[in-house]
Amino acid sequence: MSTPSEPGDERSDARPEPSLSAVVGERRRLINLAYRMLGSLAEAEDAVQETYARWYAMPRSRQEAIASPGAWLTTVAARVCLDVLGSARVRRERYVGEWIPEPLPDRTEWVGGGAAGGGDGPVDPADRVTLDESVNMAFLVVLESMTPAERVAFILHDVFRYPFAEVAGIVGRSAPACRQLAASARRRVREARAQTGPSAEQAVLVRDFKEAWEAKDIEALVGLLDPEAALITDGGGLAGAALRPVEGGERVAQYLVHFAEKVPALVLLERTVNGRPGLVAQHAGATVTVAAFGLAGDRVHRVWAVRNPEKLRPWPGNGPGAPGAGGPPQSWGG
């Protein structure tokens, strides 16, 4: 997959000297890069923070000797992400239940507690992640199946358009090796059926799905679900969630209707999730579940439902100290 990406168009190389504004101006691009590499906004922020800490720890003379601060920052951020990805595999083996990448709202709905790092007001636009096809949930889930080196090489080259000669310097492997890593990653993308379809068509399918679920119409839900559909929920041990995927269109439909009956106060809203049509469930004004969809033809093949409140901080009604951020424990759980 080769996706034109707004962050890739923001590269700024070969500056004559490192002005403060030039260095700080790289932050948005680095956040975009790190989020795609890590699938976690919190971890992306930490990686970028570490990158800047290393820059400012250098004496001024060393900073001035760097021909391209943007390239230096990118190299360091990517290497930090490589380290994080290596340790993340161990951490996620201990994670309670299924692990899903952190879902992101549309920029018009993003609130404090996310990329800006505090408060309940709007986030600084400079810190928002650009929502394009390289961050749709189906794509991010495929990235999770890759080795750290595959993921970094693929994102740098195919998404951010870095030539393999530069990727090699960042990853610490030869250019031919990085080319092979990216090719292997592309095969994973093709084999994973990471389909989304046109946004307008997905919006219609998600709306029909929402209406069928609200009506507790199992037959209608089954008709919208692929026979091999699966529902994956992520509560992280902090909110009710199925510990294993619910598999099969009929079982997914029954599961959804069962919990619609148990939680009548749950409000479903059509919202943009990682740049694609999705659903948000709110309880007492707080976002308690964010659902993204993967398609197979004209049916829903995957539903990824994130309930872990630590992953929902950028969503309306959440953020630090938000009441009811975890939501009713029985919803989407089991």
Residues 79 and 131 in one domain: no
CA nearest neighbour of 134 among 241, 3, 21, 41: 3
Mean pLDDT of 256-264: 84
Q: Identify the pLDDT of residue 195.
A: 63
- Of 317 and 315, the structure prediction assigns the larger pLDDT to 315
Residues 118 and 262 in one domain: yes
pLDDT tens per residue, range 178-218: 999 999 999 988 887 656 667 888 999 999 999 999 999 99
* pLDDT band per the 50, 70, 90 thresholds, residue 127: low
86-116: b (≥16 Cβ within 10 Å) or e: eebeeeeeeeebbbbbbbbbeeeebbbbbbb
Determine, yes or no, domain membership for 254.
yes
- Of 131 and 64, the structure prediction assigns the larger pLDDT to 64
Q: Identify the pLDDT of residue 154.
A: 96
Q: 314 near 105, Cβ under 8 Å?
A: yes
Rounded Cα distance, 278 and 207, in Å: 9
Mean pLDDT of 120-140: 71
User: Phi/psi zone of residue 184: left (φ > 0), alpha (ψ -120 to 50 degrees), beta?
Assistant: alpha
The domain containing residue 87 runs over which residues?
Answer: 7-94+149-191
Q: Identify the pLDDT of residue 194.
A: 55
Q: Identify the pLDDT of residue 108.
A: 81
Residues 41 and 131 in one domain: no
Determine, yes or no, domain membership for 2.
no
Determine, yes or no, domain membership for 69.
yes
Residues 114 and 220 in one domain: yes
Chain centre to alpha carbon of residue 68: 29
Tell me the CATH number at 32: 1.20.140
Domain count, the chain: 2
9 pLDDT exceeds 50? no
Mean pLDDT of 20-31: 87
Boundary (domain end) residue, out of 161, 191, 221: 191
Q: What is the DSSP letter of 149?
A: H
Boundary (domain end) residue, out of 191, 206, 223: 191
pLDDT tens per residue, range 136-189: 999 999 999 999 999 999 999 999 999 999 999 999 999 999 999 999 999 988
Instruction: Write down the H helix ranges in 226-286.
Output: 249-262
- As given in the structure block, the two tokens for residue 11 are 């590269």
Q: Identify the pLDDT of residue 124.
A: 52
Rounded Cα distance, 115 and 277, in Å: 21
Residues 214 and 77 in one domain: no
Rounded Cα distance, 295 and 205, in Å: 9
Mean pLDDT of 281-305: 92
Mean pLDDT of 230-236: 96
44 pLDDT exceeds 50? yes
Determine, yes or no, domain membership for 255.
yes
* pLDDT band per the 50, 70, 90 thresholds, residue 92: confident
* pLDDT band per the 50, 70, 90 thresholds, residue 133: confident
Mean pLDDT of 106-112: 77
Mean pLDDT of 127-143: 85
Mean pLDDT of 255-269: 87
- Of 324 and 155, the structure prediction assigns the larger pLDDT to 155
Residues 6+ apart with CB under 8 A from 316: 105, 109, 111, 282, 287
Tell me the CATH number at 302: 3.10.450.50
Q: Identify the pLDDT of residue 234.
A: 96
* pLDDT band per the 50, 70, 90 thresholds, residue 122: very low
229 pLDDT exceeds 80? yes
Q: Can you give the three-state secondary structure of 253-268, one letter per residue?
A: HHHHHHHHHHCCCCEE
